[in-house]
Every structure is written in structure tokens, then in C-alpha cells.
A and B are shown apart, each in its own frame.
Chain A
């Protein structure tokens, strides 16, 4: 890669010779059998948002964990404002003005926002009332421009709100450098926009942000400069405006990505009988009516896209389709047979796979071994179970097979699954489900937490399944993804289907309007 000719300081509007807030020189970190980082150089200047881009496992989180003193580097130097530092813990790092918000939040869920903000903060007065805590939090929230409710309990907050609390926690401690590890992976587009506004305001005050991501469009939108990591090594640092999504993708995966196309094929005959039909299905829960009068037919060999802002009943729709919830009204038929209340196991046995939205809460048991998690769908059948006897060795074999097909490197199958990166968890679950999906695969936000390369692979699998005659339900927030891969798109709003359009010739504008609650007059 070419060097950047003009001084960085000048382009960022800094005085000549301004030192970087953070400089890394030749940082290396090795885990048993893995090069997590090797000889990484990085400079981050005041006033910039510096994106750290790389595929899953590229070493982004590890590098930042070294900077904040969670991991110990094996070689190299960390220089903070011109001084070589070696932080022993995140507390030391924050004292030096470097704070990090992790992929998995580290808040105490049972505590209020105000309590979380003040927890473990030397500035917190020794004796303090709840009222004062909350007042201090409000004041911080105002000065730093991050709206939070001080008295709310963290467990009750949405992910976006929790993230704001995390950021406020770091900024309250006078951080000059804020490191965000894949912050938008858990946010709605709207919440992401709010975050970007707050970040821009933060760097405008002479601070800096390191923004870890594997989403190209975001990196293009938010960052001044971008550093690309691949296989633990730095590929390049570039001014973002000199890059394109294409060039970044190429640097990231080290080869030209041929984006999967849905592929040409003959349209389904109109009279193909549906494999799964929902007729006037409704579902009520403690939150009231979450699904209202849903009718749709799913045909073998099609990809049905479900569009909509997250939280409009998509999750509940997957529940009734997979037998995890029994509708309060309406019927579900599979190949002409009523399956409305046969339950999750029977549905899976009939060939319905399910990639759930929240894989850690429902798709996996994070504290159990990778093996235990990999066999969750097939544990009850031979060769794993014969006459009630379970074979741990058979489970190990199947787990290795699934990991191999999913292209996940597993150093130790006895390791708890929570130690896998989010992307690798997703790949394992997806593979596991694709194995049992003879008829239908229900995939809720399958690309969340994956990088371009992995999303591409996953979509290729879906297309292959479709070509084999499997019906795929693809739930996504990314309209582009839906437009590229699905044959038809249904739009959900407040638990209802606003309309169904054939993707070919579909009007994105119209889909957008339906996502906002406008009903379509004619059904496709």
C-alpha cells in the first residue's frame, strides 16, 4: 500500500507535530496455536474516528484488549501521548484516558443506570444518596450529550440504551480515546445514527474514537481513517475517503469477493402447492397481541424475505413457524397436515431448521462445551443415541464435522461455547440448522455479527438449499440483502403483514412505506 503523502495532522486540522493519542509499534500477541496479532502498528490522532476493520477472528478485539490492559502483549510497544505504557488493567487504562466499550456489555443488570455509572469510579463520593447519584448522572448525561434515564434498572433497557450507559460510563471517567468494539452489531439503524451523532460530537472536542467494525458501509460513513487487519496483521491504514467499499472488502479478505448472486432460474410455477401455510394466525403474550391475523404460504424452493424494523413480530413469527409458540388463533399446516400445536421437537423432526435471532439465549447453552452445543439437534438420533444411550464420542465426531463444514477453527471442543466469537457461534448454529432443514429453514437475522465474507458464504448456502427445493424464510433488516436473495418479500409492522411483494420489479420505496405501517392494497 502507498504511504500517505501529506501530514496526517494537517489533514485533521491539528497543529504540526501534534503527537498521536495512541501509537502501537510492532504489537504481537499469540494464543496457543493462534497468531492473534503480529507486528501491528497503529496511530490514532486527536479529532479522528479511526476504524479498525477486519473479518471475524482478524484480531481486532484482541488488539484493543491489549491496549486497555486486559491482555498482555508478547512483543511491541503501546505509546500513549508520547509515553510508553503497559497497562495492568482496564482501570489503569481509563486513568490514562483510554476507555473501551466491549462487544458484550459489562454492566450490572440488576443495578440502576446511575449505580452502574458510578460503580468502581474513584470520583464517586464514599457516602452518597441515591438522589445525588442520579443527579450526578443526569448532569453527566447533559454535558456529554448522551441521553440516559438515571433511575432505570439496566435489565429493563433496550440494547441501544445499555450501550449509551456503557459509553457514558467511559466518558464520565474523562476518556480521551474511546474504543468501541462492534458497537452497531446490536443496534437498530436509528440507534446507530444516534450513536454516530454522539461520536462526531465527541471527537469534535479533540478526542478520538477507535471504531471496530466489519461493516463496510458504516466504516465509510463514520471514519476519517481506516486500518485493516487480516489474520492478525495490519494490511493498511488509509484515509477513508480514498477507499471504496469494494477496495476495503478486498483488503479485508485478501481476495476479490465475488458476491453471491441469487442465480437465474425458472420462476416457480404459480400452482406449486405450499409446504407451510399459516391461516389467520394470531398470538397473544403478556405484551398483548404480538401477531395479528397472519396468513401466508411458503412454497418449496423459494426464499421468502421478511422485512420490517426489528421488534415488529418477526421473532414471534419464527416461534409459531417452528413450534416454539402455539398460536392463540389460526392454524398452521405443513404439507397439508395440521401442525399448529405439535411443538418444537416434532417440527424439527419434520425438517424445519431454525437459526434464532438471539443465538446465545435460545440457540445455544453458552456455558456448555462446543460439542454439546453442536449436537443440539441430532443428539437424539443414531449414531449419537441408540436405545437411550448417548455416545460422547459420536457427539465429538458430529461436532467436528459441523465445525469443519462451518469453517470454524475450534482449538478445544470441550471449551465453553461462549468463548467462541459471535461470528463463529453464528456459523456453527447456521450449519447445525442447515443439516436438519430438509424442508424449511427459518433464518432470523442470520448475517448479524458476520463479516462480508461470511455473509456471502451463508447466503450461498441459502441459495443452494433453495435450489434443492428447501423453502427458506429470511428475516432481515437489510433491505438490500432481501432484495438480492428473496423471491418474495413480506413486510411486518406491529405484528401484522402489511403486504407481500414479488422481489422482481419490487419498489423499494413502497416496501419502506409498508415498514412504516402503510398497508398494501393488492396481495402478490
Chain B
């Protein structure tokens, strides 16, 4: 008689983890396909439609790139915070507030483009950092969980943007109902409608990966994130690091907001963040907080989101996409755990 048993290993082999990741995606898509089929739709035709509309034309690819870019910013924001053991659930709010600050500069400060863009980027980053400042200080000095505080700040930022875009900053031309005027400066395009926001995001991801691996600061953040007690023991300024990293996290999301307002949309409007901040959490978690991993998972989520837009045009609701992303996360979590197990086969005589 042969028996099969599982044994848990202390470290998951990277190759197996990767294979299971891919498998989890396939499983999630398969589950969705079955559900679609069960409700009387043709999953194969829909899948083909999604693929051809995303990858089959330069329009599709440009749309994809425009989704990819904000997901990198938000994914990096969440990932950076995770590095020091903080959950930034507020990338959504920081993104909105960054967009708001950059728009304010663009609308009310005159100046040449070469000066305006860096200024707006700076405003976006400072805005994002400001938006996480209170949760950061509360966590550092009063041990208040940033999980809740960053989340609550999101609603304030969202409402603020809605209000200015429909009220004080409403497009005076009367053409639009719920946006500001077109911003006088915009992030220059590099390819079709894709602008510099994307390469900057990619460079930031690479830079962060280098910083975390090849700087003393990166090492310190790693220790402080894994065990603040050990960091204090080695004399590291744990609080200062926590504050610096969380502000950096906010700044990244804020910069994403600036790029969205001044690059992709060209205006500030309600709902400009499009849930990127929340999806960024998933991006970061799937990437295990590795900046280069964020590039891969953000791309992947962009494909899913874009697929969702295509599906909507086919009469499916946005909830389908949410369900798919949820399924992927679920299967990935199962897969990550499963990667620790080794399957053992052996033959036993009696018993």
C-alpha cells in the first residue's frame, strides 16, 4: 500500500511558489469562467474579446499602460509601508490629496512648464505625505493602529476632491459639470496617450529595490520592520524610521495622484483615484512588498482591470472584476501556504 503525505518545510522553494502563483491565477480565471458559463455566457468568447481588446491594438495597450502606472505608484506606496510593518490602507486618500495639491498649483500659480511640472510633482508628494502625517504620528507616538486612521482619511480626501471639483474649482467655461478646468500644464506624452508618469514609476520601483537591498538605510528598515525590538537593541532610531518610511509611502501615492491629474485625466475630478489605492494593497501583498514584484503584480492587475472594462462593454457588471481579483488573492494565499509543503510518497508494508 502506498501512502502520500505532506510535510511542511520552513522555506518555500522560490520556483514552486512562482508556479503556484501562476496556478492560482489560472484557477481564479477558471472559476470565473465556470460561473460565467453557468449563467449562460460564453467564457471563451469573452476571454478572447478581453485579450484582443487589450493586447490586439495599440489603443488597448495604451489603455493598459494608463492603468498600469497609477497601480505602480499605489502598489509601491503600500509595499514601502509594509516593509516597516505598517499597513497603509490610505493610498487612495493620499492619491486624491496629491492630485488636489498638484491641481491647486497648476490652476493658481503661473509659471513656465519646465518649472511647473517639478513643482506640481513636489506638491503631489508633499500632499500625499501630509495626508498620512497624522496616522503616522499617531502610530509612532501613541501606538494607534494606522490601519483604521489611514482608511478614515480616505473618505475625507475623496469628499474634498468631489467638493472642489463641483464647487469652488469647477470649470468656469460651463462645459463640464463635475471637473476643474483643463490644467494649463500636463505631463508630456511618450507614446500615444501614455505619458511620462509610467517610466517615472518604473524607475522609482527600480530605485526603491536598489535602496532596500544596497543601502544601510534599507537594511535598517528591514530589521525595524521585522522586529522593532531588535532594531532598538542595535540602536536604530526606530520611530524616526517608521515616520520616514510612512511619509515616503504617502508621497509615492501622492505623486501617483499628481501624474493622474496632470497626465492621464488632465483635470481634477471626483473619483479620480478609481480605487487604485485599494487595488494597490492587493498589488503590494501579491508582490510581497518587493518593489520589483510590484511591477509584475501591478501589470497583472492592470490587465484584469482593463479586462473588466471590456467585460462591461459586454454587459457584465464591475462586480465581476472585483470577484476575479478576490478569487486571485484567495488562491494566491492558498498557494503561498501550499508552497511550503513537500509531497512525500512511500510504500509501507503492514499497518
Contacts and interface: CB of A to CB of B under 8 A. Distances in A.
B218 A344 contact: no
Interface of B: 3, 5, 7, 10-11, 213-220, 222-223, 226-227, 229-236, 344, 346, 348, 350-351
Contacts of A372: 219, 222-223
Given A389-B214, A415-B11, A362 B219 contact: no
B216 A345 contact: no
A364 interface: yes
Nearest to A74: B346
B217 A86 contact: no
B218 to A, nearest CB: 6
A354 B232 CA distance: 13
8 A-B pairs with the lowest CB-CB distances in the bound complex, closest first: A345-B235, A344-B235, A365-B226, A365-B227, A419-B10, A362-B229, A385-B216, A362-B233
A200 interface: no
Given A380-B216, A392-B213, A415-B11, A86 B234 contact: no
Given A415-B10, A416-B10, A363 B216 contact: no
Contacts of A419: 10-11
Interface in A57-81: 71-72
Contacts of A88: 3, 5
B233 A356 contact: yes
A388 B210 CA distance: 12
Interface string A368-385: 100010011101100001
B7 A367 contact: no
Interface of A: 71-72, 83-86, 88, 323-324, 343-348, 354, 356, 361-368, 372, 375-377, 379-380, 385, 388-392, 395, 412, 414-416, 419
Contacts of A347: 235
A379 B230 CA distance: 14
A376 B351 contact: no
Given A372-B223, A390-B215, A72 B230 contact: no
Contacts of A391: 214
B227 A377 contact: no
Contact of B230 (A343, A365, A380, A414): A365
A345 B226 CA distance: 19
Nearest to A346: B235
Nearest to A385: B216
B234 A348 contact: yes
A72 B9 CA distance: 12
B253 to A, nearest CB: 26
Contacts of A86: 3, 348, 351
Given A324-B232, A344-B233, A365 B223 contact: yes
13 contacts: A83-B351, A86-B3, A344-B234, A354-B233, A361-B227, A363-B230, A364-B227, A364-B230, A368-B227, A372-B222, A388-B216, A389-B216, A416-B10
Given A364-B227, A389-B216, A323 B350 contact: no
A289 B348 CA distance: 62
B306 to A, nearest CB: 36
A390 B218 contact: yes
B3 A348 contact: no
Contacts of B222: 365, 368, 372
A74 to B, nearest CB: 8
Nearest to B236: A345
A414 B220 CA distance: 17
B157 to A, nearest CB: 33
A324 B234 CA distance: 9
A347 B233 CA distance: 11
Interface core residue of B226, B344, B346 (most chain A CB under 10 Å): B226
Contacts of A343: 235
A363 B227 CA distance: 9
A395 B3 CA distance: 44
Interface core residue of B218, B219, B222, B350 (most chain A CB under 10 Å): B219
Given A388-B216, A390-B215, A416-B10, A348 B235 contact: yes
A295 to B, nearest CB: 25
B229 A361 contact: yes
Contacts of A389: 214-216
Contacts of B231: 365
Contacts of A364: 227, 230
Nearest to B342: A72
A452 to B, nearest CB: 27
Given A72-B344, A324-B232, A388 B213 contact: no
A414 B227 CA distance: 17
Contacts of B214: 389-392
Given A88-B5, A343-B235, A345-B236, 18 more contacts: A71-B7, A72-B7, A324-B232, A344-B232, A344-B233, A348-B235, A361-B229, A361-B230, A362-B227, A362-B233, A365-B227, A365-B230, A366-B226, A376-B233, A379-B216, A388-B217, A390-B214, A415-B11
Interface core residue of A86, A367, A419 (most chain B CB under 10 Å): A86
Contacts of B229: 361-362
A347 B235 CA distance: 9
A71 B346 CA distance: 13
A71 to B, nearest CB: 6
A88 B229 CA distance: 38
Contacts of B227: 361-362, 364-368
Contacts of A71: 7
Contacts of A85: 351
B17 to A, nearest CB: 14
Contacts of A416: 10-11
A385 B227 CA distance: 21
Nearest to B223: A365
Contact of A363 (B11, B226, B233): B233
A324 B233 contact: yes
Contacts of A362: 227, 229-230, 232-233
Contacts of B350: 84
Contacts of B344: 72
B218 A377 contact: no
B290 to A, nearest CB: 14
Contacts of B220: 379
A232 B230 CA distance: 33
A392 to B, nearest CB: 6
A85 B350 CA distance: 9
Nearest to A343: B235
A241 B168 CA distance: 91
A385 B219 CA distance: 10
B114 to A, nearest CB: 31
A193 B301 CA distance: 59
Contact of A72 (B213, B219, B346): B346
A163 B213 CA distance: 40
Contacts of A323: 235
B219 A390 contact: yes
